[in-house]
Amino acid sequence: MVNITKKSNTLRIAVATATVKVSKQETIDAVEQRKIPKGDVFEFARAAGLFGVKKTSDVIPDCHPLPIEYTAITYEIEGLSIIINVEVHTIYKTGVEVEAMHGASVTALTIYDMLKPIDKGVEIENIRLLKKSGGKSEFKTAKFPEIKAAVVVCSDSIFENKAQDTAGKAIISRLEQWDIHTEKYEIVPDEIDVIGNKASELSEVGYDLIIFTGGTGLSPRDVTPEAIAPLIDRNIDGIMETARHYGQERMPYAMLSRGVAGFIGKTLVLTFPGSKSGAEESMDALFPQVLHLFKVIKGEKH
């Protein structure tokens, strides 16, 4: 099965359809009048489709078991065709398009089974996905080359060449996925004045995004939040709350991170942990959706 542990829970919706075509009007009349010998076609097939949606991971090997929050199965009759629509919702890390299509398939097969005694010409056609939403797939084509970014590593040991930077380079690599070029990459010591001055300097020269990595913990030299917080004009508490929640689901010490986020003027400033894994998890939790802020501050609608 595909590894989805890095993904975040979001509302995911899928709508699938299938068509059952009969060979004569008498069959459609019998369905509508509830005169099929095996019973009410619509209700039996709806029940089977609901089971199909919920049991998808039992029969499709690479599908993850997931919570089904909502399923609706509806029908339309057009001429000699019964059109089935299946809509499925979940709040989870992966989508439900296969669940919706499986539900449509099972619903169609049930209708076929119930109609074949009175109509030997029944066919199943066009099982397909109509639409889906939710998750990062919606951002796959999103690129942000217009964003001017800087990455600043806060670490005494790296500044003194006693250790190598991995977190800052990991952030730069992740930004490149969204066509964001890091125009400034610097390493500074864990000093409040130095970190604060660097934030002021970069925001004043027009950087759109500054990511600080390191110094967000609780050791005596972890002072990045103290340096950045007084400079922030507009706090955005939800950003780092989201990052901490994401991290906490993956390791127990994420709750100890004290990172802050907000705008210094028109510059978005984020403060991430100094470990490579902590920085990568913060990027996974926040990007690219956090970049929506740049539209919001321009007055554009959500």
Report yes or no: 200 and 231 within 8 Å, Cβ to Cβ. yes
**Token pair 């009410």 in the structure block, residue:** 40
Closest CA to 272 of 220, 223, 214, 217: 214
Query: Which contiguous run of DSSP H or E holds residue 78?
Result: strand 70-78
> CA torsion 101→104→108→114, rounded to 10°?
130
In angstroms, the Cα distances linking 272 to 124, 261, 284, 286 are 53, 9, 12, 11
Active site residue 113: yes
Catalytic residue (one of 40, 113, 165, 179)? 113
What is the C-alpha separation between 253 and 236, in angstroms, rounded?
22
What is the C-alpha separation between 110 and 82, in angstroms, rounded?
12
What is the C-alpha separation between 95 and 23, in angstroms, rounded?
36
Count of all residues that appear for the chain in the document: 302
Residues designated catalytic: 113
